[in-house]
């Protein structure tokens, strides 16, 4: 069995990579199965024979399906003539990766450090610095991509504010989110998240420019 792991916080690039795997497999007339496309579990999908004796690609995009029993089974069934792609729209921890058979291949797609600097600089009293970083980023990345990352990040900041114990991120990530959350009142976070939702709708249903909308939110809500 060939195991390929695709993960990382740059979800756009990791998803595009997954689609490339699917496209190549289709062009080669492989049989493609996904863990979310039926009632079969990972072991059943991997162990089932192809109806037409084709090469088989199994895509697992829900890491909650992996437990100790599945990991042990994968190590014992390396003889299966199948390619397993494990996809996760985030960064997998070392515990998960170390639980896989040793012959797996991993492709991690990381966000540029400047984007992380922007996300972590988004807090009240830091509007000027935040805008400077944002304008550097949009020279290389689409504003839609940056906006989607920021919107998700601020939802995480809100989550850290109200219930950090339920978060499944690594401890260092939760601590960073908590520190950023401490700079906000709960009402301020709710206001900004609502502003993002309004900006998203306006950019899609009117002539409003998303870049201008994000600049305005940053300048007025982080003053």
Tokens 């290389």, residue located: 140
> What pLDDT is attached to residue 81?
86
Q: In this structure, what token pair is assigned to residue 135?
A: 């304008």
Q: Read off the CATH number of the domain in which 141 is found.
A: 1.20.272.10
Are residue 22 and residue 9 in the same domain, yes or no?
A: yes
Mean pLDDT of 173-179: 95
| Per-residue pLDDT at 39 exceeds 80 | no
Are residue 97 and residue 123 in the same domain, yes or no?
A: no
Per-residue pLDDT band at 108 (split at 50, 70, 90)? very high
| Per-residue pLDDT at 86 exceeds 90 | yes
| Per-residue pLDDT at 83 exceeds 60 | yes
Domain boundary among 50, 83, 108: 108
Are residue 215 and residue 172 in the same domain, yes or no?
A: yes
Answer positive or negative: Cα dihedral of 158, 135, 88, 56.
positive
Are residue 124 and residue 180 in the same domain, yes or no?
A: yes
Domain containing 205 equals 113-221
Domain boundary among 108, 134, 156: 108
> What pLDDT is attached to residue 50?
59
Percent of the chain past pLDDT 70, that is, above it, reads 96
Domain boundary among 108, 123, 150: 108
When divided into structural domains, the chain yields a total of 2
Are residue 44 and residue 27 in the same domain, yes or no?
A: yes
Burial 152-183 (b: 16+ CB within 10 A, else e): ebbebbbbbbeeeeeeebeeebbebbeebbee
Q: Read off the CATH number of the domain in which 48 is found.
A: 3.40.50.300
Are residue 118 and residue 65 in the same domain, yes or no?
A: no
Are residue 86 and residue 24 in the same domain, yes or no?
A: yes
* More confident call, 120 vs 46: 120
126 CB-near residues (< 8 Å, 6+ apart):
222
């Amino acid at each position: 069995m060939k195991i390929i792991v695709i993960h990382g916080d740059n979800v756009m690039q990791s998803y595009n990579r997954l689609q490339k795997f699917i496209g190549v497999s289709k062009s080669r007339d492989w049989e493609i199965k996904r863990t979310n496309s039926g009632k079969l579990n990972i072991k059943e999908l991997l162990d089932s024979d192809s109806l037409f004796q084709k090469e088989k690609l199994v895509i697992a995009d829900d890491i909650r399906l992996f437990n100790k029993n599945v990991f042990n089974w994968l190590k014992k069934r390396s003889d299966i003539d199948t390619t397993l792609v494990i996809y996760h729209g985030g960064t997998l921890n070392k515990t998960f990766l170390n639980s896989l058979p040793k012959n797996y291949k991993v492709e991690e797609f990381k966000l540029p450090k400047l984007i992380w600097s922007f996300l972590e600089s988004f807090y009240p009293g830091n509007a000027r610095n935040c805008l400077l970083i944002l304008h550097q980023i949009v020279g290389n990345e689409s504003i839609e991509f940056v906006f989607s990352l920021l919107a998700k990040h601020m939802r995480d900041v809100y989550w850290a504010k109200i219930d950090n114990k339920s978060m499944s991120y690594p401890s260092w990530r939760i601590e960073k989110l908590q520190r950023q959350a401490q700079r906000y009142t709960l009402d301020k976070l709710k206001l900004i998240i609502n502003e993002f939702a309004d900006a998203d709708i306006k950019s899609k249903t009117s002539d409003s420019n998303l870049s201008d909308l994000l600049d305005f939110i940053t300048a007025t809500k982080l003053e």
